[in-house]
């Protein structure tokens, strides 16, 4: 049966007359595809190097037949630009992590911002420059003043209510590294 099908496919013109059946396919040790398809993989240079090292006859046949775009010899390495291109992340993933900028200790500013009618919120800025965890400070203020508090910006805590008078003493008590000279009260400020 198999011989009849082989002869029919040869007659139909789909079979290669120079090939011996059953076909023996050589698979690449790098990308695990047939060696004819290595050029379509992300790193064809590695596939070519592997093929040249392990099967030099097959490598010679493929390079002559396909005339690859980039021809690297066994000792040569790919150009430096290609190496750097491989290191760059193409898409997805975490990407590059930005390092936080270290700043010298600045001033802690406290401002009272009007909300509606006779209601105010207190804004505290600059605690992060003293390496104070803003989430911890936000929880501390909310518990101390029995009100809502939130971290709204990179270095800003909003406390619901007018606590400008009390907050200076509380900050100095809780964080002794923040001295009296580095705390600035701006008073009432428009948002």
> What pLDDT shows up at residue 78?
52
> Buried (b) or exposed (e) across 155-186, using 16+ Cβ within 10 A?
bbbbbbbbbbeebbeebbeebeebeeebbeee
Give the other-Cβ count within 10 Å of 147's Cβ: 14
CA dist., res. 104 & res. 12, Å (int) = 81
- Please indicate, yes or no, whether residues 116 and 167 belong to a single structural domain of this protein: yes
Report yes or no on 146 lying in a domain.
yes
- Please indicate, yes or no, whether residues 114 and 55 belong to a single structural domain of this protein: no
Half-sphere exposure in the Cβ direction for 167 (13 Å, CA): 32
- Domain end call among 12, 43, 67: 67
Total number of domains in the chain: 2
Cross-strand bridge partners of residue 184: 109
Report yes or no on 161 lying in a domain.
yes
- Please indicate, yes or no, whether residues 57 and 114 belong to a single structural domain of this protein: no
Comparing 78 with 45, which gets the higher pLDDT? 45
Confidence of residue 121 (pLDDT cuts 50, 70, 90): very high
- CA angle at 58 for the pair 57 and 62, rounded to the nearest 5°: 120
The answer for residues whose C-beta is within 8 angstroms of residue 33's C-beta and 6 or more apart is 27, 41
Report yes or no on 184 lying in a domain.
yes
- Comparing 29-43, 61-75, 172-186, the range with the smallest average pLDDT is 61-75
Report yes or no on 113 lying in a domain.
yes
pLDDT in tens, 49-96: 888 898 888 888 776 655 544 544 544 555 555 555 555 555 665 656
CATH, residue 154 = 3.30.780.10
pLDDT at 188 over 60: yes
- Please indicate, yes or no, whether residues 63 and 113 belong to a single structural domain of this protein: no
Report yes or no on 115 lying in a domain.
yes
CA 72 from chain center: how many Å? 32
- Domain end call among 67, 99, 129: 67
Mean pLDDT value across the chain? 76
Report yes or no on 6 lying in a domain.
no
Give the other-Cβ count within 10 Å of 49's Cβ: 19
Q: Which residue range forms the structural domain that includes residue 119? A: 108-188
Confidence of residue 142 (pLDDT cuts 50, 70, 90): very high
Q: Which two tokens stand for residue 181?
A: 């000279």
Report yes or no on 45 lying in a domain.
yes
- Domain end call among 9, 35, 67: 67
- Please indicate, yes or no, whether residues 56 and 122 belong to a single structural domain of this protein: no
Task: Give the mean model confidence (pLDDT) for residues 25-40.
Answer: 84
- Please indicate, yes or no, whether residues 112 and 63 belong to a single structural domain of this protein: no
- Please indicate, yes or no, whether residues 115 and 169 belong to a single structural domain of this protein: yes
What does the DSSP assignment read for 104-155?
----EEEEEEE-STT-EEEEEE-GGGGT--HHHHHHHHHHHHTS-EEEEETT
Report yes or no on 99 lying in a domain.
no
Q: Rounded to 10 degrees, what is the CA torsion of 61, 62, 66, 67?
A: -80
> What pLDDT shows up at residue 140?
92
What is residue 27's three-state secondary structure?
strand
- Please indicate, yes or no, whether residues 62 and 114 belong to a single structural domain of this protein: no
DSSP summary character for residue 63: H
């Amino acid at each position: 049966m198999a011989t009849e099908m082989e002869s029919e496919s040869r007659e139909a013109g789909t079979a290669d007359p120079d090939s011996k059946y059953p076909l023996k396919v050589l698979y690449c040790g790098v990308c695990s595809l047939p060696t004819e398809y290595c050029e379509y993989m992300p790193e064809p240079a590695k596939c070519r190097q592997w093929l040249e090292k392990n099967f030099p006859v097959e490598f010679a046949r493929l390079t002559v037949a396909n005339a690859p775009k980039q021809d690297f010899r066994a000792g040569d390495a790919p150009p430096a630009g290609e190496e750097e291109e491989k290191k760059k992340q193409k898409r997805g993933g975490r990407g590059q992590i930005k390092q936080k900028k270290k700043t010298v200790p600045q001033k802690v500013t406290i401002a009272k911002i009007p909300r509606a009618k006779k209601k105010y919120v207190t804004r505290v800025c600059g605690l992060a420059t003293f390496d104070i965890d803003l989430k911890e400070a936000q929880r501390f203020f909310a518990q101390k003043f029995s009100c809502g508090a939130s971290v709204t910006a990179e270095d800003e805590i909003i406390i619901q209510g007018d606590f400008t008078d009390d907050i200076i003493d509380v900050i100095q008590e809780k964080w002794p590294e923040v001295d009296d000279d580095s705390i600035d009260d701006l008073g009432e400020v428009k948002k």
